[in-house]
Amino acid sequence: MSAVRLVEGYCPGVIAEVIGLHMDYYAPAWGFGAPFEAKLARELGAFHARYDPRRDLFVTARGGDGALLGTITVDGGEDDPGGAHLRWFIVAPGMAGQGIGGALMRRADAFLRAIPYPRAYLTTFRGLDAARRLYERYGFRLAGEEAQDPWAGHVGLQRFERDDGHVPAGS
């Protein structure tokens, strides 16, 4: 993972970059279109409008040339009884296997422990196997599945949860 740096917090243009990164992957691979992009824009914009680094984490992975290679978020500001929401975790197409996803997950895990949140959760769907392996390595377990999803309507929804006190594999 040489020449990759993790950058925390907002910087001008990053919301559009994150939306673009998601669309670069989800549109061709899964057929996600305008409903997904609009939902992502609304929710990512709302998150940044209320972002507080004492409870929230927003991290981007950048290449040596400044290109966006990945992102992850811990949203602690939703006042959700389910705990902190791990969101918008993605690695750029073509960058899988470079350690970027692992670096992002390690940072999110450290943040979750530092607060500490008693629980954390994420939503995803079947077929994102590399991401699921990382989620499970960091203590997230499948808690439920639904046929309908909020992104495209055809991939289903999986909810993963983790309780505080998790120790990552290999630690």
Interval 78-132: pLDDT, tens: 667 668 999 999 999 888 888 999 999 999 999 999 988 888 999 888 878 888 8
DSSP states of 133-160: HHHHHTT-EEEEEES--SSSSSS-EEEE
* Cα R_g (the chain), whole angstroms: 15
Answer yes or no: is 134 within a domain.
yes
Answer yes or no: is 88 within a domain.
yes
- Residue 156 tokens read as 């289903």
* pLDDT surpassing 60 at residue 164: yes
The confidence score (pLDDT) of residue 171 equals 44
The confidence score (pLDDT) of residue 144 equals 87
Answer yes or no: is 169 within a domain.
no
Mean pLDDT of 140-154: 78
The confidence score (pLDDT) of residue 20 equals 97
Answer yes or no: is 170 within a domain.
no
Model pTM score: 0.88
The confidence score (pLDDT) of residue 73 equals 97
Residues spanned by the domain of 52: 5-163
Answer yes or no: is 10 within a domain.
yes
* pLDDT surpassing 70 at residue 165: no
Answer yes or no: is 67 within a domain.
yes
What H or E segment, with its residue span, contains residue 23? helix 14-30
CATH number (domain holding residue 16): 3.40.630.30
CA angle 63, 11, 85 (to 5 degrees): 90
Answer yes or no: is 19 within a domain.
yes
| CA pair distance 171, 163, nearest whole angstrom | 17
Answer yes or no: is 108 within a domain.
yes
Is the CA virtual torsion 11, 13, 19, 21 positive or negative?
negative
**Beta strand pairing call for 57-62 and 5-8:** antiparallel
The confidence score (pLDDT) of residue 168 equals 53
Longest dimension (CA), the chain: 41
| CA pair distance 93, 101, nearest whole angstrom | 12
Cβ contact 73:59 at 8 Å: yes
Domains in the chain: how many in total? 1
The candidate with the shortest Cα–Cα distance to 126, out of 99, 144, 102, is: 144
